[in-house]
Structure 1
Amino acid sequence: MLTFEQKKEIIGRFSELTEKSISMNRLNYHFEGSKYDKKIVVEKLHPNGNGFVYVGDLLAYKSDERGLFNIRDVTEQQLLEVIEDSIMYLTEVDEPKEEVKIEESWRNASHDQLLLVQEDEYWNVYHGFNLEESFGTKEDAEQYLIDEGFKEAK
């Protein structure tokens, strides 16, 4: 088990963390670069060697209901990794995902064109800007287009 002093030295390698004294000679280490309200990476590091690292809901760690992982019995390598993971976790922001719209052009022998477009959970067939038909699956929409004499334009 690492001592309090060894843990302080390891945590001190992270220049992005700021040490703050709290009650009973314990220390917190704050990460001001956090993209969230949560700023404390290492919480309640105690002179007896006990303490916690915030890991949120990272599946690699067994944490309590507050997302804290106990570092009492970790190795130097484990402590380095959990702190790195915590900082990465607090740095990443869930960006809204860009909506992916699947659109295919279908033509018949007369060169009429229909568009097959995935919108939400539906597959819609458009003639110009007008909705021709709507289907729950792509297979159903494709079968409709084939039955109507259309082939996918490549």
Structure 2
Amino acid sequence: MLTFEQKQAIIESFSELTKKEISLKRLNYHYMDSLYEKTIVVEKLHPNGNGFVFVGDLLRYENEANDKGLVNIRDYDELQLREIIEDAIQYLSEEVEEQEPIVEIWNSRDGSQLQLAFEQRSWNVYHGDNLEEAFGTYEAAKEYLLEEGFRTKK
């Protein structure tokens, strides 16, 4: 496992990333030229070596990424860390092809209604016009909605 200092040196070799210190001596690294609202590439890099890289819904990482599109890099070696950061930067640099939006209406037993919409590579859950949650995959969004007691008619 790479040390915090080794990971930091590798990450900082990417000149397009900007370091920002956050709480508990952790660091975030932002890609300020992102085409999306999401700019954090490396999130919560901790002195114990733990940290995350945002990969969104890249299929290459579907078995590693959590429902927020983050991959834990604690046990990554140098080559793996460089590759995932390159992939993350490329992901945030690519235009998403315009497509017909996918929208589903989900209802709860008490009559509450949420909208699930696929927009720019993410599955967003809305309550009215307010964004409630965003997910990298449909399955993660569906699981969230089901856990919250919502169902959809197909």
TM-score, structure 2 normalization? 0.62
Q: Return the offset for 1:95.
A: 3.1
Q: Which runs of 5 or more residues in structure 2 are unaligned?
A: 100-154
Please name the residue that 2:60 is paired with. Answer: 60
Give 1:94 deviation, angstroms: 1.2
1:13 equivalent in alignment to 2:13: yes
Give 5+ residue unaligned stretches, structure 1. 98-154
Q: Which residue is 1:48 aligned to?
A: 48
Runs of 4+ in 1 over 4 A off after TM superposition: none
Which residue in 1 is equivalent to 2:80?
78
> Any idea what SS the aligned residue of 1:10 has?
helix
AA of the residue aligned to 2:65? S
Root-mean-square deviation (CA, aligned residues, Å) is 0.9
The residue number in structure 1 matching 2:97 is 95
Compute the displacement of 1:60 (Å).
1.0
Instruction: Using structure 1 for the length normalisation, give the TM-score.
Output: 0.62
**Could you list the per-position Cα deviations for residues 18-51 of structure 1 after superposition, in whole angstroms to 9, with x for gaps in the alignment?**
0000000000000001000000000000000000
Answer yes or no: is 1:29 the counterpart of 2:29: yes
Relative contact order, higher structure (CA 8 A, sep 6+): 2
